[in-house]
């Protein structure tokens, strides 16, 4: 289920009844990213032209006509290839810190990328994404026609803390004092927690200072309740403290296992 109460946020309810949100990329940022990608594509096309001009006997005007005739298809291939291999990002999107995702928050699929980029030639009309910009201003989630057809949207990319990052933090001792408190009583059944659960909790802990207090408390409660169900018990007290505790202990548990598996 999608909650659209926040015009600049895309809220998704997970199967565990936990709300999870993305920041919608603005029209200006998307337009600049598209312009940069178009410039990169133009430079690639120019390079291909000079190479073909050197290795073929085709006259100059015929070669230009051929490249223009297949230009839209080549542009679609450019976007599809990068979005698949760079997890929803092209060079322009990566530089401006945005990415394409499915409406449910999942990684963009090949079929969705294919649809949104084949429709791109319509969005590009009449010149430099004129139609797309109009659609993004009209749509409350800043989607162009291709996004609507493919069930995708463009969100701001967020720096994710990986397990390796947190392990390095633990090893360096920057969270030693927190671990001394949080691991005094180890949480039972910690093996039931999935990496995807920890990713969601990490994201919340990183962003909680930017949230309004009432929303911060509500999200912390939802996340804690979802983990209570996964673990098979409830932990009284501060939900945020519990989330920090379970994250710290999970990192330590995984780190110890990784160290045990090393030759």
Evaluate if residue 12 carries a pLDDT over 50.
yes
Q: Are the CB atoms for 1 and 13 separated by under 8 Å?
A: yes
For position 49, what pLDDT does the model report?
81
Over residues 164-187, the mean pLDDT reads 48
- Which is higher by pLDDT, 209 or 13? 209
pLDDT for 227-241, tens place per residue?
887 777 776 678 888
Strand order of the sheet with strand 2-3?
A: 2-3, 9-13, 19-23
Burial of 188 (0-12, 13-18, 19+ CB in 10 A): exposed
Is the whole-model pTM more than 0.75?
Answer: no
Q: Are the CB atoms for 152 and 116 separated by under 8 Å?
A: yes
- Which is higher by pLDDT, 173 or 187? 187
- Which is higher by pLDDT, 56 or 126? 56
- Which is higher by pLDDT, 249 or 36? 36
Evaluate if residue 19 carries a pLDDT over 60.
no
The domain spans of the chain are 2-156, 163-258
Partnered with residue 3 across adjacent β-strands are 11
Residues 6 or more apart whose CB falls under 8 angstroms from that of 84 comprise 108, 110, 113
For position 246, what pLDDT does the model report?
83
pLDDT for 175-184, tens place per residue?
444 444 444 4
For position 236, what pLDDT does the model report?
60
Evaluate if residue 155 carries a pLDDT over 60.
yes
Quote the CA–CA distance of 146 and 77 in Å, as a whole number: 15
For position 95, what pLDDT does the model report?
93
Quote the CA–CA distance of 23 and 51 in Å, as a whole number: 42
Q: Are the CB atoms for 147 and 154 separated by under 8 Å?
A: yes
Over residues 257-262, the mean pLDDT reads 58
Over residues 61-84, the mean pLDDT reads 84
Partnered with residue 216 across adjacent β-strands are none
């Amino acid at each position: 289920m999608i909650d659209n109460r926040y015009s600049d946020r895309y809220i998704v309810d997970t199967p565990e009844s936990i709300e999870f949100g993305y920041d919608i990329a603005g029209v200006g940022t998307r337009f600049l990213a598209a312009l940069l990608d178009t410039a990169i594509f133009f430079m690639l096309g120019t390079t291909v032209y000079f190479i073909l001009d050197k290795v073929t006997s085709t006259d100059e005007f015929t070669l230009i006509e051929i490249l223009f005739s297949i230009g839209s298809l080549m542009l679609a291939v450019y976007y599809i290839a990068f979005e698949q291999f760079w997890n929803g990002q092209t060079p322009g999107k990566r530089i401006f810190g945005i990415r394409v995702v499915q409406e449910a928050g999942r990684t963009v699929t090949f079929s969705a990328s294919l649809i949104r980029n084949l429709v791109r030639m319509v969005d590009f009309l009449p010149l430099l994404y004129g139609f797309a910009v109009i659609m993004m201003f009209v749509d409350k989630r800043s989607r162009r026609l291709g996004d609507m057809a493919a069930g995708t949207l463009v969100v701001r990319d967020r720096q994710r803390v990986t397990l390796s990052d947190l392990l390095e933090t633990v090893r360096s001792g920057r969270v030693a004092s927190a671990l001394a408190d949080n691991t005094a009583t180890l949480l039972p059944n910690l093996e039931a927690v999935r990496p995807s659960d920890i990713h969601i909790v990490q994201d919340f802990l990183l962003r909680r200072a930017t949230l309004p207090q009432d929303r911060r408390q509500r999200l912390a409660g939802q996340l804690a309740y979802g983990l209570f169900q996964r673990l098979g018990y409830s932990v009284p007290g501060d939900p945020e403290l519990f989330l920090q505790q379970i994250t710290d202990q999970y990192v330590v548990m995984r780190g110890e296992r990784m160290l045990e598996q090393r030759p």
